Amino acid sequence: MIAGKHRLAADDISLLRKHSFPHGVRKADDVVVMLALNNSCPEKCPEWSAFFLEELAGFIVNYSYPQGSLDEINVAWIMRMFATDGVINSSLELELILHIMEISSHVPDELRAFALDQLRLAITDDVGGYKLSRAVDRKGIARQDIDFVMRVLRNICEGGVIPVSHLTYSVLRRIEAETLPSANHPRWAEILQALQLRDYAELRTSRWLRIVDDEQAVA
């Protein structure tokens, strides 16, 4: 009934909380339903965005293994569910991924590089959720872009140094190659200078050692 509506209203969110997800989003199938609702209703109230972010981020980080964190399996699932050919489909889904990164105790570098690549796609291909929210349309790094990049990198900053893997470093350099230096915000050069390449092993979760509830696992 709700999916057939043109606009999601606050009353619809109350119905979803009470009847569809009385215990919250707890299964991968619930995520599919939430995405279907998000894609089927052109107009949405502010309550929907808060509900979407709260429930999906909470499920992915807190109700999926490894609880409170992310691993390479979660990241592969996130990239498959919320992107098409490497492009995050909407501004809300991009915000979801950023929020997931902020509340997770560990973020695999693949997800960090994937998020940063949305800026490159906005500049080079004029596509993606970040492009839809980008206030400027130019081949240069604006203040909004700086804020986006630092939101992705903030959790790994160490006293003026930004330690990154080769993957993240490569994405940032690809962004640099696609921009006009004279059009870039001065802070962009400072970010590039602060980068420090590090070879470090990502945290790997030995899932076979765990007893997994199939209804709660994201795989």
Burial of 209 (0-12, 13-18, 19+ CB in 10 A): exposed
179 and 106 in a common domain: yes
Q: Is the pTM higher than 0.85?
A: yes
107 and 50 in a common domain: no
Q: How far is CA 136 from CA 11, 43, 62, 88, in A?
A: 35, 24, 35, 19
Paired tokens of 27: 């299964």
Paired tokens of 67: 């609880």
For residues 204-215, give the mean pLDDT: 42
161, 166, 167, 170: CA torsion to nearest 10 = 80
194 and 96 in a common domain: yes
Share of the chain above pLDDT 90, in %: 79
* Structure letter (DSSP) for residue 183: G
Q: Could you tell me if 162 and 195 are in contact, meaning their C-beta atoms sit under 8 angstroms apart?
A: yes
Instruction: Tell which wins on pLDDT, 145 or 201.
Output: 145
Domain count, the chain: 2
Measured between alpha carbons, how far is 152 from 97 in angstroms, rounded to an integer?
A: 10
Whether residue 123 lies inside any domain: the answer is yes
Residue ranges in 88-213 assigned as alpha helix (H): 91-103, 109-124, 129-133, 143-153, 166-177, 186-194
The whole domain housing 138 covers 85-199
* Tally of CB atoms within 10 A around 196: 11
Note the pLDDT of residue 2.
Answer: 72
Least confident of 5-9, 96-100, 127-131, 199-203: 199-203
110 and 168 in a common domain: yes
Whether residue 51 lies inside any domain: the answer is yes
In the predicted structure, residue 181 carries a pLDDT above the cut 50: yes
Encode pLDDT of 105-142 as tens digits: 999 999 999 999 999 999 999 999 999 999 887 789 99
